[in-house]
């Protein structure tokens, strides 16, 4: 049988800070050596491989369940503030510490451990298939998920579980979209004693910021019954190098969280038209992710809730998410299928110093995923 804790611990110790997922892909792939699994590595860039593993019926399956998780993590932050090194996978009682323990190497390990349990038990997939994804680049743009969609790996899917951390095994079934944008404004420098000889890029940027904020007020009355309203935050502004000089360059960045009623493409077009009104101003869309629409409560959803209740005692409550995840990429696939977002999480400390998780809850996740697969694919 698979040592679940070793699997979890080992993948925490593989450094995948915004890169280097190929080593993790190799490690996970090694578990399927000598099995009937079909293993494919999908290269995004040197050192950055996503992993696709297929179990069961490989040709024209009736049902295809996907277990998906990303392999990258965010940076460690200030190492001096960590009680244990972020790659140590230190275990203290029921708690395992390390970067990615919560987001989302716990979910990734649990998904793969569940699949390996099915292999060890000679589970009969019949004419059905279980597909495992380990994706690259989720934290910085969901590149791996997008690549798998474009390559057709989701064209035959009938249901998908994304193992992102959710407290109490709550199930995310909708979330807001994201637009990260940057506006760059150029002007002309001059001595601050003669501003008439210059063109103040910062002042122009502040006017554009005010116009953008005014533009977004038109959505104040537009609300999704589950996700709420669109939000927009100007989060970065930069200009000038010294106090006695008119700045000739300024830029600012904003973060918009969209809802299905305010499609990303509409926001793109409106922002572009607004910025185009100003000379020497340019708009750049840095990162877009479409909102995941509110999904119908499917039979697959009810199955997941039943297994969560039976194994963890939690109800598997349906929740909305303000943050983006790879569900926003997976909905672009040709096939249409339920996407359930839930994974092991004991502490709300994703991306934090001393990130950690509960081994008990992790083991519950392994069993929940396994039992869902057994019933759905039987």
Task: For residue range 179-225, list pLDDT tens digits in order.
Answer: 999 999 999 999 999 999 999 999 999 999 999 999 999 999 999 99
CA distances from 260 to 72, 292, 297, 335 (A): 28, 8, 18, 19
CATH class of 4-175+293-377: alpha beta
Q: Tens of pLDDT along 24-42?
A: 999 999 999 999 999 999 9
Confidence of residue 292 (pLDDT cuts 50, 70, 90): very high
For the beta sheet containing 356-358, the strands, ordered from the edge strand earlier in sequence to the opposite edge, are 91-92, 95-97, 356-358
Query: How high is the pLDDT of residue 97?
Result: 99
CA distances from 185 to 94, 243, 280 (A): 52, 19, 6
Q: What is the spatial distance between Cα 91 and Cα 93, in angstroms, rounded to a whole number?
A: 6
Contact 357, 264 (CB under 8 A): no
Q: Tens of pLDDT along 214-270?
A: 999 999 999 999 999 999 999 999 999 999 999 999 999 999 999 999 999 999 999
Q: What ranges do the domains of the chain cover?
A: 4-175+293-377, 177-289
Q: Is the pLDDT of residue 1 over 90?
A: no
CA distances from 205 to 140, 184, 230 (A): 26, 8, 23
Peptide bond before 104: cis, by omega within 30 degrees of 0? yes
Q: Which CATH number fits domain 177-289: 3.30.1490.20, 1.10.240.10, 3.30.70.360, 3.50.50.60?
A: 3.30.70.360
Query: How high is the pLDDT of residue 356?
Result: 98
Q: pTM of the entire structure?
A: 0.91
What does pLDDT average to over the chain? 97
* Cβ neighbours of 334 (radius 10 Å): 10
- Name every residue whose Cβ is closer than 8 Å to that of residue 352 and which is 6 or more positions away in sequence: 77
Query: How high is the pLDDT of residue 242?
Result: 96
Query: How high is the pLDDT of residue 195?
Result: 97
Confidence of residue 322 (pLDDT cuts 50, 70, 90): confident
Q: Is the pLDDT of residue 324 over 90?
A: no
Confidence of residue 360 (pLDDT cuts 50, 70, 90): very high
What is the mean predicted confidence (pLDDT) over 294-315? 97
Query: How high is the pLDDT of residue 329?
Result: 95
- Name every residue whose Cβ is closer than 8 Å to that of residue 100 and which is 6 or more positions away in sequence: 11, 12, 16, 73, 106, 355
Confidence of residue 152 (pLDDT cuts 50, 70, 90): very high
Parallel, antiparallel, or unpaired: how do β-strands 318-321 and 171-175 relate? parallel
Q: What is the spatial distance between Cα 194 and Cα 210, in angstroms, rounded to a whole number?
A: 26
């Amino acid at each position: 049988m698979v040592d679940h804790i070793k699997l979890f611990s080992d993948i925490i110790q593989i450094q995948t800070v915004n890169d280097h997922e190929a080593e993790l892909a190799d490690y996970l792939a090694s578990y399927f050596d000598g099995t009937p699994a079909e293993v494919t590595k999908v290269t995004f860039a040197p050192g950055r491989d996503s992993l696709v593993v297929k179990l069961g019926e490989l040709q024209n399956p009736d049902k295809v369940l996907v277990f998906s998780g990303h392999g990258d993590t965010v940076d460690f932050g200030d190492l001096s503030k960590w009680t244990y090194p972020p790659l140590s996978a230190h275990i203290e009682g029921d708690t395992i510490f390390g970067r990615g323990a919560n987001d989302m190497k716990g979910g990734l390990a649990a998904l793969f451990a569940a699949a390996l349990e099915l292999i060890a038990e000679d589970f009969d997939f019949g004419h059905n298939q279980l597909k495992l994804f380990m994706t690259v680049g989720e934290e910085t743009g969901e590149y791996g998920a997008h690549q798998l969609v474009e390559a057709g790996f989701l064209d035959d899917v009938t249901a998908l579980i994304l193992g992102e951390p959710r407290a109490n095994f709550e199930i995310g079934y909708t979330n807001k979209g994201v637009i990260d944008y940057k506006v760059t404004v150029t002007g002309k420098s001059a001595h601050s004693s003669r501003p008439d000889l210059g063109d103040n890029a910062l002042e122009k940027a502040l006017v554009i910021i005010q116009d953008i904020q005014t533009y977004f007020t038109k959505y104040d009355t537009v609300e999704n019954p589950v996700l709420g309203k669109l939000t927009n935050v100007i989060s970065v502004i930069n200009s000038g190098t010294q106090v006695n000089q008119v700045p000739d360059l300024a830029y600012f960045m904003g973060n918009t969280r969209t809802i299905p009623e305010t499609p990303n493409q509409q926001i793109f077009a409106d922002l572009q038209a607004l910025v185009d009104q100003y000379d020497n101003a340019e708009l750049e869309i840095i990162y877009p992710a479409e909102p995941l629409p509110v999904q119908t409560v499917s039979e697959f959803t009810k199955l997941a809730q039943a297994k969560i209740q039976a194994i963890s005692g939690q109800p598997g409550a349906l929740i909305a998410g303000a943050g983006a995840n790879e569900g926003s990429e997976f909905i672009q696939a040709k096939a249409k299928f339920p996407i359930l977002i839930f994974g092991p999480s004991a502490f709300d400390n994703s991306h934090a110093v001393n990130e950690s998780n509960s081994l008990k809850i992790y083991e519950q996740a392994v069993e929940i995923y396994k039992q869902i697969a057994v019933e759905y694919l039987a």
